[in-house]
Structure 1
Amino acid sequence: MRNLLLSTVAFAALAGSAFAADLPSTKEAPVYMAPTPAFSWTGFYIGADIGGAFASSSLNNSWNGWTSHSSDTSGVMGGGYVGYNYQFNQNFVLGLEGDFQGTSNSQSSNWFSPITLGNITAGDAISERRSLDWLASINGRVGVAYDRALFYAIGGAAWAGGTGTVTDWNIPASASLATSVSGFDVGAGVDYAFTPNWIGRIEYRYYDFGNNTFTGFGATTPFRTETSVNSIRVGLAYLFSSPAPVVAKY
């Protein structure tokens, strides 16, 4: 009789637990939180920048006893850029970019070169002025993205426009070269997305325009110029893109 009573109590307890489990829960459902979209670098962008240009150039000739004169110039540069990025494999970015920059670089110098006529040696007063007026380039970009930061290398074809003038005050006569030259540029920089559309930038760029020649006032050999430019700039661009969708992982 005692065992029967204990069995009945146990059965009643189990039945009550099962019935309670079937009752609807009184807890509120959790509030849905949408995942934050991942940032995407893919899209067109347009921006403006400003910085400094530091040019190094030399003027070479074997006429009238002088061979080479060098000068370094510095100035403010500023302009705009436009390009397109494509992000793949989550972290890698490829892009194409073009830019145009105006500069304030100019430099003047004067010197005396010896002239020997028979047994007579005299000084020849020469002055020279050169200016770098603008820079332009079309470049490819390759970078590695860490969310809103993009570290990239850049390089491609470059062009520059400027003026060089040499004046011999003893003749007097002068020769000028006002033209554009071509070369290449390479560099590196960092882009950072402050918002999904506004992108800040800091960048270093090196330009090399090789050798260019011109002649004037009876020189027996042409004048040859060599020019390179280092620049550093900061910029701000607008990226025409939307955040990339988040892919759920299970």
Structure 2
Amino acid sequence: MKRLLLAAAALLSVATAASAADLRARPYAKAAPPAAVVAAYNWSGFYIGAMGGYGSETDAGSGGFGGGTIGYNWQFPGSQFVFGIEVDAAGASIKDSVTEDFGGGLLVTSETKINSFGSVTGRAGFAIDAALLYAKGGYAWANNKASLSAVGVGAFSDSQTHTGFTIGGGLEYMFAPNWSAKGEYMFTSLGSETYNFGGIPADSGTIDLHTFKVGVNYHFR
């Protein structure tokens, strides 16, 4: 019995040693280093586009507009920050009309209409591959026509160009190698101008304009 136990122990010892040697000899492959993250899109370069939307004055008129955009973006390789400059202009029909009774049957109608507006802005954004979240701000202008009319008195009108500032932001998405779509909100504040109605001057007061626009841009690569 003792010899049988000794033989079993020897056999077990040999098997354990062989297994350990086999474990030591088994090769292990090292994990490959992670691949460098490379941005799939780069926003640098010139672009042109078309845009349109809806605008409203604070406590006043509203209406639609449509126009064009031209701009340039800078994005350094390996960076997600995008900087640019953008110029846009639009024809518009943002208008308001009010009729007031001054007594004695005198009804006076006053009308205002923003015929066109535009801006020159700087733009700064953060790119996440095909998406660009951005803010923008700068110089703004608008051409506005105002008129007064009363039955039995006559009608008078004048046009003035107002200037001021605009600020806002939006989201742009590159849906094809050279094409992007955007949605944008802008707040515009324009200074007062003096209108002349038949020799009678009238101060317009500040024009505050809210615009919501969508657009499509073509990027030159």
TM-score by length of 1: 0.67
Classify the secondary structure of the residue corresponding to 1:38: coil
Find the partner of 2:60 among 72, 84, 99: 72
Query: 2-side partners of 1:165 and 1:215: how far apart?
Result: 10
Q: Which runs of 5+ in 2 are unaligned?
A: 1-36
Q: Is the 8 A contact 2:158 2:197 kept in 1?
A: no
Equivalence for 1:144: 126
**1:125–1:72 Cα change, 3 Å:** same
Contact 1:46/1:238 (CA < 8 Å) preserved in 2?
Answer: yes
Mapped contact 2:162–2:192 kept (Cα < 8 A): no
Match of 2:34 in 1: none
Tell me the residue number matched to 2:48.
46
- Superposed displacement of residue 37, structure 1: 6.8
Does 2:63 match 1:83? no
Equivalence for 1:211: 192
**What amino acid is the match of 2:96?**
Q
* Distance apart, 1:167 and its partner CA: 2.5
Per-residue deviation, 1:177: 1.8
Task: Kindly state the Cα deviation for residue 93 of structure 1 after the two structures are TM-superposed.
Answer: 0.8
Question: Partner letter of residue 135 of structure 1?
Answer: F
Secondary structure at 2:69's aligned position in 1?
A: strand
* 1:39-85 Cα distance to aligned partner (Å, 9 max, x none): 111100011112111123xxxxxxxxxxxxxx522212111101000
Question: What does 1:24-173 correspond to in 2, within 5 Å?
Answer: 38-56=40-58, 72-88=60-76, 90-113=79-102, 122=104, 124-169=106-151, 172-173=153-154
Q: Work out whether residues 173 and 217 of structure 1, in 8 Å CA contact, stay in contact via their aligned partners in 2.
A: no
Cα deviation 1:163-190 (Å, max 9, x = unaligned): 10123445x1443221211111111001
Does the CA-based 8 Å contact 1:74-1:106 persist in structure 2?
A: yes
Contact persistence 1:42–1:85 (CA under 8 A): yes
- 2: CA distance between counterparts of 1:102 and 1:198? 24
Distance 2:51 2:195 in 1: 33
| Structure 1 unpaired stretches of 5+ | 1-34, 57-70, 115-121, 242-250
Higher relative contact order (CA 8 A, sep 6+): 1
What is the letter of the counterpart of residue 112 of structure 1?
D
2-structure distance, mates of 1:53, 1:224: 19
What amino acid maps onto 1:146 in structure 2? I
Which letter does structure 2 place at the counterpart of 1:137?
A: S
Work out whether 1:234 is the aligned partner of 2:198.
no
Residues 137-169 of structure 1, C-alpha deviation per residue, up to 9 Å, x if partnerless? Answer: 111001111111111001111111121012344
Distance 2:119 2:142 in 1: 9
Going from structure 1 to structure 2, the CA distance change for 1:112 and 1:237 (only over 3 Å counts) comes to same
Aligned length: 184
Deviation of the 1:36 alpha carbon: 7.7
CA distance in structure 1 between the aligned counterparts of 2:197 and 2:185, rounded to whole angstroms: 37
Letter in 1 for 2:61: T
CA distance in 2, matches of 1:182, 1:51: 21
1:12 corresponds to? none
* Cα distance in 2 between the residues matched to 1:125 and 1:43: 56
SS at match of 1:225: coil
How far residue 225 of structure 1 moved from its aligned partner, in angstroms, is: 3.4
